[in-house]
Amino acid sequence: MQIDIIDYESCSAAGVNLSALRTSLRQHQSGLIKNNLPGSDLDTWIGVVGQVSAVNDLGEWQSRNNRLAALGYEQGTIRSTVSGLINKYGAARIGLIMGSSTSSIDRTEEAYTKLNSENALTDEFRQPFVHNPHAPALFAAHLSGIKGPSLTINTACSSSAKVFATGSRWLETGIVDAVLVGGVDTLCLSVLHGFDSLQLLSPDPCKPFDQHRNGINLGEASGFAVLQRAGENDNAKGIRLTGYGESSDAYHMSHPHPDGLGARLSMTQALDRAGLPPSAIDYVNLHGTSSRANDLIEGKLISELFPGSVSCSSTKAWMGHTLGAAGITEAIIAMDTLQTNVIPGSKNLEILDEALNFSIKATDEPKVCQHVMTNSFGFGGNNCTLLFSRTG
């Protein structure tokens, strides 16, 4: 069964909405800034969504993660699209799937700095629905009024790519008539210093696949998309989820399999499910974190699986690696090329890693694409590949 994309929106340091993101991509204007996170003196660059501070206090739902989700949900027509589907099918017939790697750990981190004299949570931090791995979906259900099945997926950096695969299965089995999928992750000290302890952060703006890359930059983002069975909505965007692949090689907690076995499997599964040869793909949005190991393994896989005619880029230099929100952020960038007819370049790429040989450019490429793909590879070897196609 094929699945239509009815609506989508992205909110990141590269743009508070899809329109702003398109402008940043077109002008090659990155949202990365020198680290200014309160309490952190790490020498790195981060992608902060400054507009989060203007979001009203959420009361019992208060957390930076939920505020970023709320900000993203108000962009574009996502809210009105979901409201229309609820009116048509009923709130219980709409599903909800969110991806996140840290949920609202930012709020929990803050709570521990403000314990009372008995080392217990103060009243303002007694938030069982926030200090909760399922917090993103609980809050999104509160925001949207959706009462159908809900799920929060946490598979590290592939979390909000896998929401599309799960949503597709829910629609195929008929348990819902539409699905709101999304992802959200925010920066906090636990996240930033956790990655620093793994020696992964770069003191410079990241340079995916560049010979002189020296680590990643972290960012925050939220994003949403609405899925329905093909042909059931007149407002479809002309974009269809035609394939997906999921795998877990479980080679190491943080290092990918040296031969990329799981990543290869997720890509070939997506192609097989779509019934397409590698040569049919016009563009691949790469996971491309700018780490030495990840880029090398992914780049070699691309050159082995795809012909040189397939264009590739990594877009993390615009907003940083947004962790559990990276999957949907980059899925949106990939599928949006079917609307804009422009493939974004790989920002900051100067000299391609001498061990790699595939079609990747620093500059944009005007191109009418028919089929595009995006990769999301997470800790623990948890991989997801999505394939989107033009319907017209």
Among all residues, which ones are annotated catalytic? Answer: 157, 287, 321
Question: Tokens at residue 245, please?
Answer: 């692949």
Beta-carbon contacts of 17 under 8 Å, excluding residues fewer than 6 positions away, are 9, 10, 11, 75, 76
Residue type, 320: G
Strand-strand pairing, 94-99 and 150-153: parallel
Place of tokens 């780049």: 299
DSSP H helices in 61-220 = 64-73, 78-89, 105-112, 135-144, 159-173, 189-197
The CA distance from 20 to 89, in Å, is 32
Rounded Cα–Cα distance for residues 82 and 91 (Å):
9
- Residue 13 sits at the vertex; the CA angle it makes with 255 and 82, to the nearest 5 degrees, is 95
Neighbours of 33 (CB within 10 A): 16
H/E run at residue 378 = strand 371-378
Alpha-carbon distance of 56 to 63, in angstroms, equals 11
Q: Which tokens is 213 given?
A: 């890359």
Largest CA distance in the chain: 65
